[in-house]
Structure 1
Amino acid sequence: MQQVKTGDTVRVHYHGRLQNGQTFDSSEGRDPLEFTVGAGMVIKGFDSGVLDMKPGDKKTLNIPVEEAYGPKSDEMIMDYPKANIPADLNISVGMDLQMSNPQGQVFQVKVAAIGSEFITLDANHPLAGEPLIFDIELVEIV
């Protein structure tokens, strides 16, 4: 039976959770996730975790921060002038907002704090700094 190797396109079902057991994503009730191994389409630890699996195989991946979304970066936290926030937008701590950079790329930020003149925005990936656990099942090698 064929085993997964770099360059293969695979389909997997998965259940992703944090170390405290909280689910953050799952393919349950959806089509399996399809990606090409080694193409950078998924996080590094997930990508390498499917290598050598055969269709029908199941396993649990314990992915360290460095092979997931990386550590939280202080460079991704910024103060933004409250005066630049639309007056009709009622911001609150924990709220997700979308911003764009000068090149027009859109990215998501989370309101981390609200001060008198500035709001603190966190542009880190929501799972940055978290080791992740995935229960996966290789459905097929396409």
Structure 2
Amino acid sequence: MQVVKNSVVTLNYSVTDPDGALVDDGKEPLVYLHGGYDDIFPKIEEALEGKGINETVKVRLHADEAFGEYDAELVQIESRDDLPEELEVGMELEGDPEDGEEDDEVILYRVTEIDGDKVVLDGNHPLAGKALVFTCTVASVRPATAEELAVSSVIDPEDSN
């Protein structure tokens, strides 16, 4: 079977930066619903269209085609007193956008620095602003189930028990 719209695709993959430094070793296969469901970056999905099992594609993505450009406005400095007692660099905290938008959007902030009573929080994805190279090999392809098509997402068989 080939990768076509409404198929569930399992990929073995790795991600590097443009210089070849490993960013993600893809220990766990990536499983997604093919056909414009926003389960995978569009440029990768386009490259996989029509591929069969064991076929490999290598796709270079600019920052805006991957996790977006780095947005300095998503970096905030907060008082240590306003944050949870247990706090360390690398922790993730949920927060609301600071500009008062009321679209129920929650931003995941990473603690990037703790300096005395000030804490730096970054709402950018860790790979924002970076170009990436995805190397993907099609491990399996199957038709999506009616239930998966109804929810526009792959359903893990273990979740339906």
Is TM-score (shorter-chain normalized) higher than 0.5? yes
User: In structure 2, what is the Cα distance between the partners aligned to 1:80 and 1:126?
Assistant: 19
Return 5+ residue gaps in structure 1 as ranges. none
User: What is the CA deviation profile of residues 71-112 of structure 1, one whole-angstrom value per residue up to 9, with x for unaligned ones?
Assistant: 01123112222221344x3545xx33323449695x542334
Take 2:126 and 2:24, find their aligned partners in 1: how far apart are those partners?
A: 12
What is the SS of the residue equivalent to 2:73? Answer: helix
SS in 1 for 2:128: coil
Question: 1:116: Cα distance to partner?
Answer: 5.6
Letter of the 1:40 partner, please give it. D
Aligned-pair identity in percent equals 19
Deviates more, 1:113-122 or 1:40-49: 113-122
Greater helix content: 2
CA contact (8 A) 2:95 2:109 kept: no
Are 1:40 and 1:47, in contact at CA under 8 Å, matched by a contact in 2? no
**Equivalent residue number for residue 83 of structure 1:** 81
- TM-score normalised to structure 1 length: 0.77
Tell me how large the CA RMSD over aligned residues is.
2.6
1:104 and 1:70 map into 2 onto residues whose CA distance is 17
Bigger strand fraction: 1
- Answer whether contact 2:76 2:120 (CA < 8 A) is retained: yes
Note if 1:97 corresponds to 2:92: yes
Q: Which residue of 2 aligns with 1:129?
A: 129
Question: Which residue in 1 is equivalent to 2:8?
Answer: 9
Counterpart of 2:51 in structure 1 is: 53
Q: Where do residues 61-72 of structure 1 align in structure 2 (5 Å cutoff)?
A: 61-72=59-70
Q: 1:59 offset after TM fit, Å?
A: 2.1
Q: Provide Cα deviations, 1:33-64, integer angstroms capped at 9, x if missing partner.
A: 21012211122333223122222211211111
Count, aligned residues: 135
Closer, same or farther: CA 116–51 of 1 in aligned 2, 3 Å: same
- 2:37 is aligned, of 29, 36, 39, to 39
- Partner of 1:19, secondary structure, is coil
Distance 1:86 1:66, change over 3 A: closer
Q: What are structure 2's unaligned runs of at least 5 residues? A: 97-101, 143-161
Range moving further from structure 2, 11-20 or 41-50: 41-50
Structure 1 segments (4+ residues) deviating >6 Å: none
- Alpha-carbon distance in 2 for matches of 1:104, 1:61: 30
The residue matched to 1:56 in structure 2 has which SS?
A: coil
Residues 9-53 of structure 1 show CA distances to partners (whole Å, capped at 9, x for unaligned) of 21111011112322222334x4x3210122111223332231222
- Deviation of 1:8 (Å): 2.2
